[in-house]
Each structure stands twice: as C-alpha cells, then as structure tokens.
Amino acid sequence: MPITPDQQAEIDAQRSEAHQTLRATSPGMEKHLYQAHEVLDHGLIRVIDYMGDDNAITQAARVSYGKGTKKVSNDTGLIRYLMRHWHSTPFEMCEVKFHVKLPVFVARQWIRHRTANVNEYSARYSILDREFYIPEPDQLAAQSTINNQGRGETLEGKEAQAVLDMLRDDATRSYDHYEEMLSDDGKKGLARELARMNLPANVYTQWYWKVDLHNLFHFLRLRADAHAQYEIRVYAEKMCEITADWVPAAYGAFEDYRLGGANLSAKGIDAIKRMIKGEDMDAEKAGMSAGEWRELLGVLG
C-alpha cells in the first residue's frame, strides 16, 4: 500500500484542522488538501498547499491589460481568451505544492521539467524503503518497431511472467545487498551515500514539487498525452483531476485549447485548405515528410 496506517492517521489529523484566512480559497481544491491519491502499486500524489484560483488569473490579467479587458464580459471568457492567445503570465499567479511518491526512473523523466521547485527525499541521510515498482502484466510490452520511445505489442504468458520474475528478483536482491552494506552488525557499514548506488531504478523516492499553473499546464500537456509513458501519465492524469477541481474555468480552457487542440504548421493549414477544395493530397504534394503527413492525418481523424 502507498501509505501506512500511521501516515493515514497523520493525514486525517491534518485534514481535521481548520484555519481562518482572509485569502481566497478554492472549494474544489480544499477537498484535496493532504488527501493521498494512490498511483501505481506504491505511489501517491497529494496536495500540500496552493495559492490562487480562477479569480486570481482574471485579477492579474485586468491589472496587466487595464482598459483593454473591459470588452470581456465574463471571467470565463477572459480566461479562454488568455489561453487561446498564449498569454501565460496571469496563469503564473496560481501555485500548487504536491507531495509525490514515485519510482526513480519516473522521477528522472519528470525532473526534465525544470520550471518547478523540488526537494527530494535524500538517500544520503535516510534509508529508502523496500518498495519497488512492478508493472501490471498488461503494461509489459515489447519495443515499438516504429517509435524508438514507445511500446509495441503486449507481452503475454511465459514471456510476461519471465520479465516480472526478473524485475522482482533483481530488485529484491539489490535491496538485500543495500541493507547488507548499511549493516553495522560487527563491522562498519558503508556510508548511505555510497550504498544507494546499487539500488535499481524502480525503487520509490519522494519529493515536494511546487509549480505555478502555467508550467503545470505545460507539464500536463506533455505527460497526460496518450503518447506519454504510462508510468508518468497516470500521475499526470490524477493531477488533471485535481487541477480541474482547483481552477475549473482555467482547466476547461486548457482542456479545450491544449489537451484537445492541435498545432498546425503553415504547410498543414495549406494542405487542409486544398483538401477542402477537393484536391487529392498526399505527403509529397503537401511538401511534408511521411511522419508529418501521418501526424496531420491523425489530427484530422
């Protein structure tokens, strides 16, 4: 389980406390505060703190643009205008701090998003738990033959079981050696900062990750996408649910223009115009590579 009974008791105690404040709060986000949402086999994500709501976005935009926003009749319309025209700074007025428990290999992919504040559990000072990510059988897949970053056909039967056994056995053996190196039973144990080097990439780590809404949307646009790696996508999808409760108007605009929208090149727009006129188009006529043409057709369904 991602959380122990003691941790759940701590969460319940945190959620039982109420604090009076004059600052704006989001009812949708309040229900998520401290609540642990389980992800993968031992992972979790929970909101530790947040600042701002939909009103904070429009407030900042009206300060920035002054009289220009008087033509916008409602906040939702203004937020959609900001999203549609890539005006990012008003969304930066909202921030959220997550506590995330995740496998190390997911963390190393996640940390590529460098527009956040991060503080990670230190294996130099503390001992990591004996928890490893072992995929569900339906997530075991062969390497894709057309995408160097993706998965192909799902492994089944003996092949899948062999992989699961190797993952579990290797992780267990590595952690056994980790504990043995740390041991001071009759001899000096190896320093924690050295002993950790032998741990596998599927061991779990934890961090606090604080980010503004603009950069959170950028993270979600990439990691909640259907082409993202499953193990990071499930975290992003849970964060989408939380964000939708936190800033419903902003998330609705994001979902419409970013998650559900598409960016088209000048060649792509020209090809669509020619197809509308009845012209029979292909990659060569459009002046596109095979990959570009395939992606355009995917957008058009």
Q: Which residue has the higher pLDDT, 226 or 149?
A: 226
223 assigned to active site = yes
For 165-207, the pLDDT digits (tens) are 999 999 999 999 999 999 877 677 899 999 999 999 999 999 9
CATH number at residue 11: 3.30.1360.170
Both 4 and 76 in a single domain?
Answer: yes
Both 6 and 75 in a single domain?
Answer: yes
How long is the chain?
Answer: 301
Both 236 and 293 in a single domain?
Answer: no
Give dist(CA 139, CA 141) in Å, integer: 6
Q: Does any domain span residue 113?
A: yes
Categorize the per-residue pLDDT at 72 as very low, low, confident or very high, splitting at 50, 70 and 90: very low
Both 269 and 256 in a single domain?
Answer: no
Both 86 and 30 in a single domain?
Answer: yes
Q: Does any domain span residue 174?
A: no
Q: Which residue has the higher pLDDT, 66 or 197?
A: 197
Is 50 exceeded by the pLDDT of residue 51? yes
Q: Does any domain span residue 180?
A: no
Report the chain's mean pLDDT, rounded to a whole number. Answer: 91
Measured torsion, CA atoms of residues 4, 100, 180, 5, in degrees rounded to the nearest 10: 0
Both 269 and 254 in a single domain?
Answer: no
Both 276 and 236 in a single domain?
Answer: no
Q: Does any domain span residue 158?
A: no
Both 291 and 224 in a single domain?
Answer: no
Owning domain of residue 100: 1-133+202-261
Question: In this predicted structure, what is the pLDDT of residue 70?
Answer: 53
Query: What's this model's pTM, rounded to 2 decimal places?
Result: 0.89
Is 50 exceeded by the pLDDT of residue 250? yes
Both 103 and 250 in a single domain?
Answer: yes
Categorize the per-residue pLDDT at 3 as very low, low, confident or very high, splitting at 50, 70 and 90: confident
Question: In this predicted structure, what is the pLDDT of residue 142?
Answer: 77
Q: Does any domain span residue 171?
A: no
Of 133-147, 159-173, 258-272, 277-291, least confident by mean pLDDT is 133-147
Both 129 and 90 in a single domain?
Answer: yes
Q: Does any domain span residue 166?
A: no
Is 50 exceeded by the pLDDT of residue 24? yes
Among 192, 223, 274, 294, the active-site one is 223
Number of domains in the chain: 2
Categorize the per-residue pLDDT at 1 as very low, low, confident or very high, splitting at 50, 70 and 90: low
Q: Does any domain span residue 192?
A: no
Q: Does any domain span residue 154?
A: no
Is 80 exceeded by the pLDDT of residue 143? no
